[in-house]
Amino acid sequence: MATTIFVLNGPNLNLLGTREPEIYGRDTLADIDARLAARAEELGVAVDCRQSNHEGDLVDWLHEARATGAKAVLLNAGAYTHTSVALHDAIKAIQLPVIEVHLSNPHTREEFRHKSYIGMAAKGTVAGFGAKSYLIALDAALIL
């Protein structure tokens, strides 16, 4: 059975590439997904890339990662990073390595972005490298 990495993206990331390129870069989420698929092929693994604006979908997909035997999850929860106890608890519950991913570095931004409920439960965090944050996290997931 192929090694699969779930890549989960939260609210508004479907609009990526349209505004604030100085913060989030010019790649669309489709661009990022394509770069991940290409890197995954080089590494001999599969990526399952999904995006939702709904917190419950992300919780369900974390459960699905566990149920389907995924090796790890890359999670950019967007604004839910700073609010979601539900995602924090789901990460704890599934007992899989979850790597928190951010395009920007939230610690250099507004105060409200400095708290991460995701980071408090994740294996680790990659932030501030734009689209490359995802590629770095994918490589990290495979050496865990």
Ligand X SMILES: O=C(O)[C@]1(O)C=C(c2cccc(Sc3ccccc3)c2)[C@@H](O)[C@H](O)C1
Q: Which residues are annotated as catalytic?
A: 24, 102
Q: How far apart are CA 131 and CA 144, in angstroms?
A: 21
Q: Is 4 helix (H, G, I), strand (E, B) or coil?
A: strand
- Spatial separation of the C-alpha atoms in residues 88 and 121, rounded to whole Å: 6
Distance between CA 105 and CA 46 in Å, rounded? 27
Closest distance of CB 1 from ligand X, Å: 31
9 is in an annotated binding site: no
Residue 13 in the binding site for ligand X (CB under 6 A):
yes
Contact positions with ligand X (CB under 6 A) in 72-111: 76, 78-79, 81, 102-104, 106
Say if residue 12 carries a ligand binding annotation.
no
Q: Which residues bind to ligand X, rule: CB under 6 A?
A: 12-13, 15-16, 18-20, 24, 76, 78-79, 81, 102-104, 106, 113
